[in-house]
Amino acid sequence: MVALPPSASLTVDAIYAAYEAAADHGYREHLGASLIGTECERALWYSFRWATRARHTGRLLRLFDTGHLAEARFVADLRRIGVTVLDLDPATGRQWNLRDASGHFGGSMDAVAIGFPEAPKAWHVCEFKTHSAKSFAKLKAEGVASSKPLHWAQMQAYMQLADLDRAFYLAVCKDTDELYQERIRHDAEAGLRILAKAERIIAAARPPARISEDPAWWQCRFCDHHAVCHGGAVPERHCRSCLHATPVADGAWHCARHPCVLLRRDQQAGCGLHLYIPNLIAAEQIDAGEDWVSYRLPDGSPWRDGATPIPDTQERADAA
């Protein structure tokens, strides 16, 4: 085989690598308002239970950072025309952090603001977004609710949680720097539906129904959890994939086996008594005892969780 030539972009590679090295663990602490508009509740449950670790390339991480950097410019633009913008929560001096009653659902608002020329006396939730030219054209043609339903649901969630009646969506086209604005009214019914959806997902001990049983369904093809949901992939061992863990009040997690409250770092580490939530294993559960659950794998071979790691397909073939 001919050896590949060394990369011609060592500096760029190093920059991307630095982003990757600084990236977080790829698991989100809470059920995020930015995703709650996702139609498939199973996908949201998988995210909440850390079924798939998010791994992004350095280039993509830098792109996310570009979006964050744009927020300061949006704030400066609004202040320049006399809008009062609170990008930090005056009570904490930190980013606005909204949570529902359980503490497990919410997100970070970009800002709240008052003094917009269209409605000078109303406080607004602010959401700032950057768009590609194609996405921006669709946004202008159809509006937020139709072209970006996840953004619309995110703002409804924030208005519901912040008890505000209006949101201001300010977007920029990354290619031309053209701006787009839209004021969004609070839809109380939608807000309550969103909170109820979040509550259902948080309380669910097992994955909700699939949006489609067809792995080639368009939403499934773009889903981060496709491999776990349709492909039989097994999530990593951590407390969120363990049948002993339950989300409890104030955004905390509890282990029934030890029993104790689980700190974030404990949840990531898990422990030797981890047992998978049976619905995360693509196999038939046949028996269970203290600290073990046994399964029949799709090829008919038995596997006992709690005693051995799940064998991969090749190992099973070798053993047959």
**Applying CB under 6 A, which residues contact ligand SF4?**
40, 42-43, 46, 210-212, 219-220, 223, 225-226, 229-230, 239, 242, 244-245, 255, 257-258, 270-271, 273-274
* For ligand SF4, the closer CB: 109 or 255: 255
8 A C-beta contact, residue 242 and residue 219: no
DSSP letter (8 states) at residue 249: G
CA 47 to chain CA centroid, Å, is 6
Q: Which is nearer to ligand SF4, 114 or 204 (CB)?
A: 204
Q: Cβ contacts of residue 117 below 8 Å, gap of 6+?
A: 81
DSSP state of 6: P
Q: What share of the chain is helix, strand, coil (3-state, %, to 5)?
A: 35, 20, 40
CB of 244 to ligand SF4, least distance (A): 4
Nearest approach in angstroms of CB 222 to ligand SF4 is 8
Under 8 Å between Cβ of 186 and 156: yes
Quote the least distance from Cβ 152 to ligand SF4, whole Å. 19
Q: Give min distance, CB of 38 to ligand SF4, in A.
A: 8
Q: Quick one: residue 187, left, alpha or beta (phi over 0 = left, psi -120 to 50 = alpha)?
A: beta
Judged by CB, which is closer to ligand SF4: 135, or 212?
Answer: 212
Q: In whole angstroms, how close is the CB of 314 to ligand SF4 at the nearest point?
A: 24
**From the CB of 28, what's the least distance to ligand SF4, in Å?**
16
Backbone angles phi, psi at 63, to 5 degrees: -65, -40
Give the separation between CA 79 and CA 121, rounded to whole angstroms: 15
Nearer to ligand SF4 by C-beta: 306 or 311?
Answer: 306
Would you say 39 or 118 has its CB closer to ligand SF4? 39
> Between residues 106 and 270, which has the closer beta carbon with respect to ligand SF4?
270
Q: Is residue 252 packed enough to be buried (19+ CB in 10 Å), middle (13-18) or exposed (0-12)?
A: middle
